[in-house]
Structure 1
């Protein structure tokens, strides 16, 4: 899919960050948009701005963890546009806590959004994508879908799951000679509010930092803008890439994991110990 003009794109988590940047760039290329977010005010604001620039946009509040709501949303998009070409399963949340401290409620909250939200979005829209002349599913994993780190077990679990789910789907679609393809996206540090909006627990015995300082240290690695991330994703779709890495940090971690698939854990743990000592 080299050209997005007059295509129909579905974007979850479109009220801010990468989702908003994707909406802006696709609108500039003449794409028709179905935007959703848990924050209705935010997604309506994005939609209003794009409509003022001449884009065709529908905006809805959507809880991606609600399977029935997702399928109803797919029906609504189909009724509005008649077809769908692109589905960006972008909505996500963050959680900072150790395995021992983590409640099942927090774990289920994380998985319901970051993993099941991707599954629901993929399965709800896949029949519509197959009805179009061309379709593409874009599932957002993470740098932490390549490697695991302390205090991110639930996030790692969800993002590793997205990676496995998407890579398996890609092969199935190819074996079917389908008109639909898919890509798994692994962003590094992106300048968004995901850390500020995360559920953060006291993990100072691991990091040596309180929650606020942990967020501040984490955000130092946010070097890529949402606009740069969105451009990289769309370029990856044009080239039908299986895996889309975003940022030099993602490339570096990808190399580290390939070179040291088990020993990277020791590297990460040693770095964490040094940070805790400095703190």
Structure 2
């Protein structure tokens, strides 16, 4: 099991949810931190809280969809910390809408953050990791990068893309000492449903508050629990990290019934 003490961890989407919980836990593990988020208030909150650990903490307001900004961020991190060892591409958003009614604007928005944000973060730091022949890239997909759901076509597309990109990268780097992990959370008690662009839900409802309340009922895993699972996976160099009993169950169903799982999920949703 590898030690994380003294490593520099880079986390996008660090101001809330899983990103914030990871920042707190990695600080306890002895990591120095480069934290990025588009929300300046959330970023200041977590950065201030973590200085008490005596670690080096830098904070960076960042739109991960902006390629130039991400590469400038990587330069700033390396200038400030001298190195980067653990890159966690975590920033993400959601859109709930049927594909027939999905606007190109919303599709481009979610792909820009969920997929291109991962690509930019990987490409910006990968040369440094390869030069050192060491480090770990962690890309956060979703259980919706393994199974698809109605009204989640855009989100599915972004998270399936993250999964494919990450698995190809892992194969390309298998002869190096740069590790690659793909994370697939199930329902996590974060604010993603409340910050989503919500138009059409799984059962046809269009009330965003109701949808968020339904999500809260299904989300059984806390960000802190998710962070512990991810960090344990990193220490044990796991290439694939599933979070939550729901993620493990859906992964198992998809493997067992790859052609029939949509009908099974539809039946389960109708019973809710």
* TM-score bucket of the superposed structures, by smaller chain: over 0.9
Corresponding position: 1:194 with 2:192: yes
Q: What is the DSSP-based 3-state SS (H/G/I as helix, E as strand, rest coil) of the residue aligned with 1:58?
A: strand
Between stretches 263-272 and 186-195, larger displacement belongs to 263-272
- Counterpart CA distance in 2 for 1:209 and 1:34 is 38
2:129 and 2:223 map into 1 onto residues whose CA distance is 26
Name the residue aligned to 1:219.
216
The residue that corresponds to 1:107 in the other structure is 107
| Structure 2 unmatched runs, 5+ | none
The count of corresponding residues between Structure 1 and Structure 2 is: 272
Deviations 1:41-84 (A, max 9, x none): 11111011110231210001000000000000000111111111
Offset, 1:268: 1.9
Structure 2 counterpart of 1:179: 177
C-alpha distance after superposition, 1:68-110 (max 9, x if no partner): 0000000011111111100000000011100011100000000
Residue number among 223, 240, 245 corresponding to 1:243 in the alignment: 240
Could you tell me how far apart the structure 1 residues matched to 2:74 and 2:177 are? Answer: 19
- Residue 124 of structure 2 corresponds to 124
Residue by residue over 1:9-39, the C-alpha shift from the partner in whole angstroms, topping out at 9 and shown as x without a partner, is 1000000111011111111121110000000
Gapped regions of structure 1 (runs ≥ 5)? none
Is the 8 Å Cα contact of residues 85 and 132 (structure 1) preserved in structure 2?
A: no
Q: Distance in 1 between matches of 2:208 and 2:44?
A: 31
CA contact (8 A) 1:207 1:214 kept: no
Task: State the superposition RMSD in angstroms.
Answer: 1.4
Deviation per residue, 1:177-217 (Å, 9 max, x gap): 2120100000011110000110001448x434633222211
> Given the two structures, how large is their TM-score scaled by the length of structure 1?
0.94
CA distance in structure 2 between the partners assigned to 1:131 and 1:9 by the alignment: 17
For 1:220, what is the secondary structure of its paired residue? helix
